[in-house]
Amino acid sequence: MNDDFDPTYAGARALNVLINREKILTDIKREADDESQSTRVFYITAPGGMGKTFLIRQVLSRFQPGGAWYRPDILAAHHEVDFYHSDNHTVEGATWSLYKALGSPASEFTAYLEQRARWQQAKLDLREALRDLDNSRLHLIHKFQSDLHRLTVDRRGIVIAFDTTEKIQYESDRVQRLLKLEEDSSAEGGIEELRTWLFNLLAQLPNAVILVAGRPHERLQQDLRTKLGDRLIEPELREFREQDTLQYFEEIAALSDEIKQRLSAIPEDTRRVIHLYTGGRPILLALTIDYLVASQQLLPDLLVPYEEARATAEDPARLEQIQHHLEVDIVRSLQELGRSSDDVIRSLAWTPKGMDAELLHRITGMSPENAQAGLNSVTQMSFVKVRRGEDSETARVFLHDEMYDLLKRHVLDCLPEAQSAQVHQAIKSYYSDKIKDVRERISQLEREGRGQITADRQAVWDDRFKNQKSLEKLSQAELALEKLLVEDVYYSLRHQAKDGFNLYRDYADMAFESNDFTLDMQLRDELLAFVNTLPADYTEHEHMERHVVDLDSALRWIKRYLVTARYDKAHALAGQIRQKSPELLVKPAARPELDIWDSWALVYSAQDLKRAESMLHTALNELEADKEIKKAAILLARGHNILGFLMRSFGRFHDAIKHYVEATSLWDDLDDRFCAEYANTLNNLAWARTEVGDFQQAILDCRRALELRRELGPLYPVALSHNTMGMIQTRAGNPADGRIHCEHALYIFRELNMPRGVGLAEIALAEALRRSGTNDLTLYYPEQSISLLRQARAFAIDAVNIFAKEAPEPIRQIEALRELGCIYRDWAWLRNKASSPIDNDPQSDTYNPAREVLAELGRDTLNQAARLAREKTVSYLEIDASVNLAWLYFYLDQFEDARRAIAEARAIAPPAYHLMPDTRYRKPPKATSWFWVQLGKVTVLEGNIAMQEFLASRDVGKLQQAGQSYTLALAYDDLFSPNFRDRKRAEEEIQQHLTNLRPEELDRLHEVIAETAGAYRLKPPVAMQKVLERRRPKRADHSTRAAKR
């Protein structure tokens, strides 16, 4: 922005001289020179217009090369970090600003910059990976702290400055009370807010002089005193003394001959009167001098003799009156003088978030060129501030706070609302267009930043490095978008509070949907800044109801805890709201919404699941009953999705499917914003369908989820869907297809550097490889199958290690151990079929130990899985490991061990899940269907053992045992689902054994099935009967014989 200063504003030209600040300058210099390595924080408070910003800028400039206080061993910020600007209201925003303020010393902040690049990439790719995203952000903050710390230790010291600290927001009293837990524990894993970060920085940074400037703020002051103790210095920034005002006149006069001539006509007596009336406040003094220079008529009170003015000034009411008249006259002069910049200055008053040429053009109708020239003409005025952006597009012009207040009081508030409505319309359209433009730019850059997933995966990795520039541009565009959204809310709130609040909610919801914590916190501060301007006891402002605002603020904290995986805090806060502020829950949707979020917390932390279920059902019923509730569809969709997840956790897959289907149909009706949640639910639904063996539909749902996620872009969810698809394909009997999907997933997770994702993909890939090698022994030679198992083993071991150490997660660790155990088991089974030589080096590419070694490894691993599952009370995994152990013994022909393992596995399932003789079976309510699956598996195994023994001995008793077990096994499977993978596998296996039986043995088996069905009161048709009939149709006398027996 150029300096085309309008000479008619000579009196208002900004000075470059500090007046009456010797004491504070001396103190700051002394502390900077102090060798003790202690840090001092200067908390400089004064009302607006006292020159705080000017002071800290002057201090910083003195420390720069060429400045009076420059020392090469002291690093001083080039400029302050100003909390006036919303982008500094998040820790990541403030750290970035501080880094830039320090002159962007890249070599000193290598760790920070590397992490920042990772964080930017993570924001791009890790949507829905909430914990990883948050961790990446926290790493960023920690890296900054450590780099900054090292930098200060390596030098004599640093000097940094923060301005407009009164804008750092506190929650409303009520919400603050509810959040007390957070306040108390912010150091122990709470969400690091700007305030907490700043206090920690001030308290912990060594060897620094830190200037903290702002208008007086009692609470902030109290907090700083408590946190910093004697490290805090609170200098008095006093008004100008009379001699300072006189000096100010001289300094202004020295700026030009024209102004010198005009000011020379102002006698000292009048200058002293002006000092009295302006209270020695520099900004008012500058405006008054400009008024003195430019206005045709002067306020008579200014022209009275000094003694009279002094007597007047002793009466505060009279002084206030004169100051008011002076303000009115200054504004009148501005309104009537007709100077070319007057319209620009007046227009600036409409936009406290800053003005650029485009916005000025829209508000005034000036041509863009004239608007730019107009802005250039005011930049050097004492009451104008310029904030240069990352690029010329983002440079903005601001008025001094005092000037905003002055013009608002005396001009804007006087104009008809229709005028302000028109201006707000122009502002709104500016923001709408800008937001649209930036979003399009982001969309384009995101495509560039991601590159393509191609068959040649190495090339993708290269592309990502090439796209670092796009990523940096993307980061800038995202910052710009955040700023625009926050400013849009700022203006909307002030134009129509209720509309503004609704816009805030939309944007904050959007931030939540896209896991954008940075935007969320900026929006939150903007809302608080507005609410904190309202009277403390307000109950409603322009139809914006306080209890709605407070509830929203509290609920957003729950959401923040949820997206950062702090489930305990989320649940605790929900309890606080119910207990301490029930008055917040009066609106129809309030309680259901609270219950849904609370249930989320419980479900994802696996606590009190019954209560979560109950809350969810109640909430959904209430929402169903009142469709008028705004956002009911969103809440219902979310509620059904959580309930689906909960049902899946219970092993109630059919219920899970029902809720997921409900949720997907609701998401489908909503707009594109919810596309990610829609895809998430589809993915969940696909997996639930897989669990019940509905592979065809599962593949369709998962494919749709994958397509949607690819369209949306972030790679993490894409990888999740690939992994899900891989698992579905494996379970559906297509492990070769499954393997490809899992490899896609694994590649992406590795690229994203996400250990958890890598672990998940490795478990799935290991299973796909294992089943590829063992499902169809005619497909590969045994040596090839063993090679596949060897690869699977490597993945499974890696996954075990990841979930044990790198990303601890017991359930996943058990799953990885279970898979590893199955790999050893299958390998042991195949071992002697292959001619491969023995190789006992576990690290070797040809590792291939003896069968016994493999069996022992399998047994130990599965026992370890079962033990861990027992410790963690995850009974469905415990029974799973035990069942697999029983199969291991079976493969090794250790039938007694197998029977023992079967008995142990059976004992894990509660009695209500067992089929009992002479009892018609009734399903327990809300049953965990997974138990039937496992009971089915062990009972088939039991049948297999008996069948093996029969084939060896032709002992009819063994045949009877086998027939009974097969009949019950399929009955267990049918309790779960008549059509799922393990059921089909069981049928195939039984069919296989039936091929070895003679006709009369098959007839006998018909009788056994009928007897078993009768004894256990199985409902016809009996599944085993149908299986057997495919081999040998039933004759009429079978049932008669069975009946006779």
Partner 1 sequence: MANHHGLSYQPESFVNHEAELALIVDKARHMRDKLPSPLNPPERQRVVKFNAERGMGKSWLLQEAARWLAHEPRIVTHYIDLEKYDSRDPEKALRDQLLPSLSARLGTSSASHSSVADVTNQLILALDDLHETLLVVLVDHVDESEKDFLDALDNRCLSQLATRPNSLLVLAERGKGHTWITLALRHPPARLQRFKADHTHEQLKLQVPDAAGSVDEIQQRSNGIPLANLLYGQEIASSPSNPPPDVIDTLLGKAQSLRRQFEALCVLRAFDELRMQAMFVEYITAPGDPAWDNLACANARKGLVATSLVRWDGDQRGYVIDEALRPILENALRVRDESLWRRLHEAAYRLYAGWADSYPRSRAEWAAEAAYHVNAMKQTTVPLSQSSGLSAEERMQ
Rounded distance between C-alpha atoms, residue 671 and residue 550, angstroms: 27
Interaction of residue 72 with partner 1, rule CB under 8 A: no
Q: At what angle do helices 282-294 and 242-253 cross, to 10 degrees?
A: 50
Among 145, 295, 564, 791, contact with partner 1 (rule: CB under 8 A): 295
Interaction of residue 581 with partner 1, rule CB under 8 A: no
Interaction of residue 294 with partner 1, rule CB under 8 A: yes
Interaction of residue 842 with partner 1, rule CB under 8 A: no
Q: How far is the CB of 239 from partner 1 (least distance, A)?
A: 24
Tokens describing residue 718: 């894409």
Interaction of residue 267 with partner 1, rule CB under 8 A: yes
Among 36, 296, 778, 835, contact with partner 1 (rule: CB under 8 A): 296
Which residues sit opposite 41 in a β-bridge? Answer: 210, 232
In this chain, which stretch among 417-425, 625-633, 766-774, 895-903 interacts with partner 1, using CB under 8 A? 417-425
Interaction of residue 422 with partner 1, rule CB under 8 A: yes
Rounded distance between C-alpha atoms, residue 381 and residue 14, angstroms: 5
Among 262, 439, 587, 1031, contact with partner 1 (rule: CB under 8 A): 262
First to last CA, the chain: 103
Rounded distance between C-alpha atoms, residue 636 and residue 831, angstroms: 53
List the helix and strand counts (H, then E) for the chain.
46, 10
> In degrees rounded to 5, what are phi and psi of residue 386?
-120, 130
Q: Looking at beta carbons only, is 249 or 557 nearer to partner 1?
A: 249
Q: Looking at beta carbons only, is 22 or 417 nearer to partner 1?
A: 417
Whose CA is closest to 277, among 238, 303, 251, 248?
303
Count of residues touching partner 1 (by CB under 8 A): 38
Interaction of residue 105 with partner 1, rule CB under 8 A: no
Whose CA is closest to 1009, among 945, 1041, 963?
963
Alpha-carbon dihedral sign for residues 416, 417, 421, 423: positive
Tokens describing residue 845: 């590419």
How many C-beta neighbours within 10 Å does residue 1042 have? 18
The H or E element that residue 951 is part of is helix 930-953
Residues recorded for the chain: 1045
Rounded distance between C-alpha atoms, residue 424 and residue 362, angstroms: 10
- Site track for partner 1 across 330-369, x = CB under 8 A: -xx--xxxx----x--------------------xxx---
Footprint of partner 1 on 375-414 (CB under 8 A): 410-411, 414
Q: How far is the CB of 341 from partner 1 (least distance, A)?
A: 12
Interaction of residue 418 with partner 1, rule CB under 8 A: yes
Interaction of residue 213 with partner 1, rule CB under 8 A: no
Tokens describing residue 25: 């300058």
Interaction of residue 261 with partner 1, rule CB under 8 A: yes
Rounded distance between C-alpha atoms, residue 1010 and residue 564, angstroms: 57
CB–CB of 800/808 below 8 Å?
Answer: no
Among 36, 297, 392, 539, contact with partner 1 (rule: CB under 8 A): 297
Interaction of residue 246 with partner 1, rule CB under 8 A: no
CB–CB of 141/91 below 8 Å?
Answer: yes
Which residues sit opposite 162 in a β-bridge? Answer: 81, 212
DSSP annotation string for 830-851: HHTTS-PPPB--TTSTT-B--H
Q: How far is the CB of 262 from partner 1 (least distance, A)?
A: 6
Q: How far is the CB of 357 from partner 1 (least distance, A)?
A: 14
In this chain, which stretch among 10-18, 287-295, 558-566, 968-976 interacts with partner 1, using CB under 8 A? 287-295
Q: Looking at beta carbons only, is 338 or 1033 nearer to partner 1?
A: 338
Q: How far is the CB of 611 from partner 1 (least distance, A)?
A: 47
Q: How far is the CB of 419 from partner 1 (least distance, A)?
A: 5
In this chain, which stretch among 296-304, 557-565, 698-706, 827-835 interacts with partner 1, using CB under 8 A? 296-304
Interaction of residue 303 with partner 1, rule CB under 8 A: yes
Q: Looking at beta carbons only, is 183 or 540 nearer to partner 1?
A: 540
CB–CB of 991/1026 below 8 Å?
Answer: no
The position carrying tokens 């062990």 is 938
In this chain, which stretch among 416-424, 622-630, 680-688, 839-847 interacts with partner 1, using CB under 8 A? 416-424
Rounded distance between C-alpha atoms, residue 335 and residue 313, angstroms: 28
Interaction of residue 740 with partner 1, rule CB under 8 A: no
Measured in whole angstroms, the distance separating CA 131 from the mean position of its chain's CA atoms is 8
Q: Looking at beta carbons only, is 414 or 777 nearer to partner 1?
A: 414
Among 265, 317, 536, 1036, contact with partner 1 (rule: CB under 8 A): 265
Interaction of residue 416 with partner 1, rule CB under 8 A: yes
The residue type found at 902 is: I
Q: How far is the CB of 133 from partner 1 (least distance, A)?
A: 44
Integer-rounded Cα Rg, in Å, for the chain is 37
In this chain, which stretch among 263-271, 738-746, 823-831, 946-954 interacts with partner 1, using CB under 8 A? 263-271
Q: Looking at beta carbons only, is 17 or 414 nearer to partner 1?
A: 414
Alpha-carbon dihedral sign for residues 63, 69, 70, 75: negative
Interaction of residue 535 with partner 1, rule CB under 8 A: no
**Which positions touch partner 1 (CB under 8 A)?**
261-262, 265-267, 270, 292, 294-300, 303-305, 328, 331-332, 335-338, 343, 364-366, 410-411, 414-419, 421-422
